[in-house]
Amino acid sequence: MARDVRLLAEPFNPGQFVGPFTNAHPGLGGVCTFVGEVRGGEGQDAGVEALELLHYPPMTLPGMEALADEALARFDLMGILIIHRTGVMRVGEPIVLVSAAARHRRGAIDAVDFTMDHLKSDSWFWKRERRGGQWHWIEPREQDHADIARWG
């Protein structure tokens, strides 16, 4: 199981995926996992009632699979797991899960960082949030572009 890439339309429990992913790679030296959740509560995120992620089926999953292949080719990995939600989510729900297994930690950590930067600003998703009953599209941030530029 070198590559496991999925789009999910329903809420998921990250542990349900990370456990089997880890077990599928006996002999690994480390697993690095990042889980992104719908942020809420404070500052500019106050008042967010829901988040919606839209995708384009002919391109979104194929693009994620190509990204997983790129991470496998670039870093010294045993396997990579990418799970991304679509649809409407509430504050606190997981949006994205990236997990990488490797013989040595550096490959796993860097692969997750690389994959997250590319999911944020170079994958076929469109995000909007609802505040006060109104939906607003979320534009990519400058920081997202700066993050992805680190990988050359």
Residues that bind another protein (CB under 8 A): 36, 53-54, 56, 58-59, 62, 84, 95-96, 116, 119-128, 137-140, 144
Give least dist CB 127 to another protein, A.
4
Give least dist CB 122 to another protein, A.
7
Residue closer to another protein (CB basis): 63 or 107: 63
Give least dist CB 92 to another protein, A.
16
**CA nearest to 38, candidates 98, 91, 97:** 91
Residue closer to another protein (CB basis): 25 or 84: 84
**CA nearest to 21, candidates 65, 77, 76, 64:** 77
Q: Which two tokens stand for residue 109?
A: 């950590």
Give least dist CB 56 to another protein, A.
6
The CA-atom distances, in angstroms, between 15 and each of 51, 70, 74 are 22, 25, 26
> Angle CA(76)–CA(144)–CA(110) in degrees, nearest 5?
15
Residue closer to another protein (CB basis): 103 or 128: 128
